[in-house]
A = this chain, B = another copy of it.
C-alpha cells in the first residue's frame, strides 16, 4: 500500500468548499466523499479475503443470499431485488458461479419466464468457508468502534429508507 498522506484529502476538500462560498454543502460533500472512499477500502479488504476462494464480493453476496434461502434456490429477479443490483449483474454473477460449479440454473415450475438459481453442494460448502473467513478477517476487524457501528447502522438505515430502498 502507498504511504499515508500527510493530510486528509477529504478535510482539505471540505475547506476548499468552504473557502469558495459553498459552506452550506461542504459538510455533506465531505461525508459523501468519505463514504465513497470507505467503500473502496472495505471492498478491497473483502476482495482480498475472498480471492483464495476464487470469489468476488458480487459472487459471494449471491452465494450467501442463496445459502440463507430455505430451499437454497431463488428466482433471478428476486435475487436482483434483494441484492439491489441490476438484473444483468446477476446474470453475470450466475454465469461465473455456474461455470465454477457453485450454482445451477433451473426452470421455474410454473412461470416459463423465470429462472431459478440453485446452490450446489459445493456452492453451499464454499459459502460457509468464505463466510467464516470474512467474519474473521474483515467483519471481526473492521476498525469501527462498537458505538460507531451502531451509529452507522442507524444513520445509513435512515438514509436507505429515505432513498426508497425499503419501508418498515
Binding site for B on A (CB under 8 A): 1-2, 4-11, 13-14, 16, 22, 24-25, 27-32, 34-43, 46, 64, 68, 81-85, 131, 134-135, 138-140, 142-146, 148-153, 155-168
Contacts and interface: CB of A to CB of B under 8 A. Distances in A.
B41 A39 contact: no
Nearest to A3: B164
- When all copies of this chain in the complex are counted, the total is 2
A157 B34 contact: yes
Nearest to A33: B61
Nearest to A8: B166
**By CB atoms of chain B within 10 A, which of A1, A24, A64, A135 has the most?**
A135
Contact of A9 (B131, B135, B166): B166
B160 A84 contact: no
4 smallest CB-CB distances across A and B, nearest first, come from: A39-B39, A34-B156, A25-B139, A31-B152
B10 A81 contact: no
A155 B156 CA distance: 12
B142 A32 contact: yes
A12 to B, nearest CB: 8
A90 to B, nearest CB: 13
A131 B17 CA distance: 10
Contacts of A143: 159, 162-163
A35 B38 contact: yes
